[in-house]
Structure 1
Amino acid sequence: MSSLPIPPSLSTDQLLYRAMEALAEGQQETDDQHVISQTLLRRFAGRQGAEYNQLCYLNIKYPKKVYLGGSDKCGKVKNFVRCGSDSLEMVWKRVEDQLPHVFQAVDDGVAISSPECIDRIKNVIALHFTRSLQTAKVSQRAVTETEEQLRLKYSSDPALLREYFRYKHRLEPAGPDALEVALEEMIRQSGERVYDGSFFRARIEDMYRRVRESFSPLSVRIATPSQGEFLIGDVPALTVRWDMKSSGVLGGVALAQANTVILPLGPRALVALGKKNELLTLSKDQVEEANRRQIHAAQNYVYFRPGSGLEKTVRAHI
């Protein structure tokens, strides 16, 4: 999977235009948004005492206490997408509505022979790669780059600056000072789209399109553990290079340079992109390694099945 071709992103201007469209939609926003699909989290849930649908989880910064919570309360980020979130939730919903069928096929051992199911698994991986805490952090880093790109673009186009000055002030620009005023106003206006969250909303939808296209020619490997079980971190879809101990974009593994992308689909299933569709059984050490990568890439929380004893694994790898 090395040197995976990634389709080009929309230009900054196109993203800003889409950001303005998101603002114009005027929809009600969704405050608490899952970065791990609730349907996927339920796969790691179990009974704890009289309570059903409970997840165990550890805060990796304060790992002494094991918490319990329902899947509806876990894997959420407040205002992950602050603008146009409702319409973006509809994009995710189209993928998430297929998850029960995917999980049933995986559990029955028939997913690998179904092209439709393989395609849906790639959608799930792409969704969790894109709708991710790592994507948010990388996008924050890109804000400064975006401002620099805009400044370079606008300052090299005096005709555009003159046109903007006339439109904004209903006056003819008188000399370079007027063009400097126009430049700063255009940067500020574009910057508002960056900082109000609408630019991120446009960027993340575009990223999902690009990631999904890049996964299109790939196959899926479905792995089950010979011993033990999988856990899941709050950055669950991870880029992996076999020659690197770290994982994920924040761990320095860019999508284009990754050997694979992995995603746990439950305590008894993990999927990875590859060159051919196949079923695998992982050894105890391989399961431990998959869990280690989830733990190291997690930003805040790691989730696992009650009674699994995986809190010891989490603490051992923090």
Structure 2
Amino acid sequence: MKAAHISKQHLVSQVLLRQFAMPGPKGSCWQLLPFDVWNPERRQKLKGPRACGAAKDFVPFDSASAEDLWGSVETRVPAALAAVHAGTPFADPRHVEVLRDLVVLHYVRSHRYRGVYTNAFETVSVKLRSKLIRQYPEQVRREALYQTGLHIPGSNSLGSFTERLIKQSETTQDFETGKLFRTSIENMFNKVRAMAAAKWHLEVLTPQSGQFLIGDNPAVTVRTDVTPFSYNMAVGDAHSMVLPIGPRHLLALGPKNVLGSIPRAVVDELNTVQILASDRYVYMHPRSGLEKFARAKSRQQQAERVNH
């Protein structure tokens, strides 16, 4: 029997969000602080991990298939996190593998990737329309006559019918239903996973002071040869891919396995990247003291958008 569609899908794994949470009053459910970077002046309210980092119908078609793929990584994360907390993440190669996969998972299962996918499909559709009109006008006119019984005289009508042909195609129908996205995101995960395994090892970094926060696009490609750090470049152009996994730990893909600490200035740079790369929210430990920092960076980002 086919598994039921899952509408509420977590893009940030709950196992990670729980690392940023603390028990509520009188031992109630664990809570963390979501910060709305679109509305930095809004009073932020504590929420449980289940209420954070999720999107409705992110994979709208056959979501159970994607959830099974994500689950193949996420079910192995608690043991790997326990090794990180114990200071022994490299004692078992399986922990290194799952933590690296966790970074890749959050890079692909993201608002950012869906935006790239959508823009790419729309760009290809526009190019295909132009190509059909330019290289195959007579074939398009014959198809229009066959489908409608009408002769298409001008370029505008030809363009309109070409759009109709593209919308009728199986690929476009699969795009509209979400079937194409589900296939694309699963294939991309497997592709980047293999690339990361071949190219990168794992760095487990702790702050010398301060704490990390985590955004709703939490795995981010970065270049660290400039300040402020540049981010969201193609994987092949990046120095690393980073993922906070708790207030006191961050994973970075790098040239060798490293267990190290980083100064407060670098922590601030990485937290800034999380804020700027977020779709809308960042999440932090309620006692981290990072709300003021997030508010200042969000205001700065809004001001820069207005000026541009």
Class of the TM-score when normalised by the shorter of the 2 chains? 0.7 to 0.9
One-letter amino acid matched to 1:44:
F
Other-structure match for 2:195: 214
One-letter amino acid matched to 2:235:
L
Please state if 1:199 is matched with 2:177: no
CA distance in 2, matches of 1:58, 1:112: 33
Task: Indicate the SS of the match to 1:120.
Answer: helix
Contact kept in structure 2, 1:231 and 1:267, CA below 8 Å: yes
CA distance in 2, matches of 1:306, 1:280: 25
User: How far apart are 1:181 and its partner, in Å?
Assistant: 11
Contact kept in structure 1, 2:6 and 2:57, CA below 8 Å: yes
Cα RMSD of the aligned pairs, angstroms, is: 2.9
User: How far apart are 1:26 and its partner, in Å?
Assistant: 6.7
User: How far apart are 1:28 and its partner, in Å?
Assistant: 2.8
Task: Indicate the SS of the match to 2:52.
Answer: coil
Please state if 1:265 is matched with 2:245: yes
One-letter amino acid matched to 1:120:
V
One-letter amino acid matched to 1:198:
K
Please state if 1:311 is matched with 2:291: yes
Question: Closer, same or farther in 2 for the Cα pair 1:111/1:38, shift >3 Å?
Answer: same
Equivalenced residue count is 282
Question: Closer, same or farther in 2 for the Cα pair 1:181/1:52, shift >3 Å?
Answer: closer
One-letter amino acid matched to 2:237:
Q
User: How far apart are 1:234 and its partner, in Å?
Assistant: 0.6
One-letter amino acid matched to 2:283:
Y
Task: Indicate the SS of the match to 2:113.
Answer: helix
Q: TM-score, normalised by structure 2?
A: 0.82
Other-structure match for 2:222: 240
Other-structure match for 2:9: 33
Other-structure match for 1:87: 65
Please state if 1:68 is matched with 2:46: yes
Please state if 1:187 is matched with 2:187: no
Other-structure match for 1:53: 30
User: How far apart are 1:232 and its partner, in Å?
Assistant: 0.3
Question: Closer, same or farther in 2 for the Cα pair 1:181/1:132, shift >3 Å?
Answer: closer
One-letter amino acid matched to 2:105:
L
Long gaps (5+) in structure 2: 148-158, 299-308
CA distance in 1, matches of 2:119, 2:160: 27
Question: Closer, same or farther in 2 for the Cα pair 1:157/1:26, shift >3 Å?
Answer: farther
Contact kept in structure 2, 1:48 and 1:306, CA below 8 Å: no
Contact kept in structure 1, 2:202 and 2:253, CA below 8 Å: yes
One-letter amino acid matched to 1:128:
H
CA distance in 1, matches of 2:160, 2:297: 54
Q: TM-score, normalised by structure 1?
A: 0.79
Match of 1:103 among 67, 81, 87: 81
User: How far apart are 1:193 and its partner, in Å?
Assistant: 1.4
CA distance in 2, matches of 1:67, 1:284: 27
CA distance in 2, matches of 1:26, 1:185: 33
CA distance in 2, matches of 1:48, 1:269: 23
Contact kept in structure 2, 1:47 and 1:306, CA below 8 Å: no
Task: Indicate the SS of the match to 1:307.
Answer: coil
Match of 1:281 among 258, 261, 275: 261
Other-structure match for 1:225: 207
CA distance in 2, matches of 1:124, 1:275: 17
Question: Closer, same or farther in 2 for the Cα pair 1:281/1:27, shift >3 Å?
Answer: same
Cα-to-partner distance string for 1:233-284 (whole Å, 9 max, x where unaligned): 11100000122636543xxx11110000000011110010111101111112
Identity value in percent: 35
Question: Closer, same or farther in 2 for the Cα pair 1:222/1:81, shift >3 Å?
Answer: same
CA distance in 2, matches of 1:302, 1:88: 24
Task: Indicate the SS of the match to 2:44.
Answer: strand
Contact kept in structure 2, 1:128 and 1:236, CA below 8 Å: yes
CA distance in 2, matches of 1:57, 1:45: 10
Task: Indicate the SS of the match to 1:113.
Answer: coil
Task: Indicate the SS of the match to 2:40.
Answer: strand
Question: Closer, same or farther in 2 for the Cα pair 1:200/1:80, shift >3 Å?
Answer: same
Question: Closer, same or farther in 2 for the Cα pair 1:129/1:285, shift >3 Å?
Answer: same
Contact kept in structure 1, 2:107 and 2:219, CA below 8 Å: yes
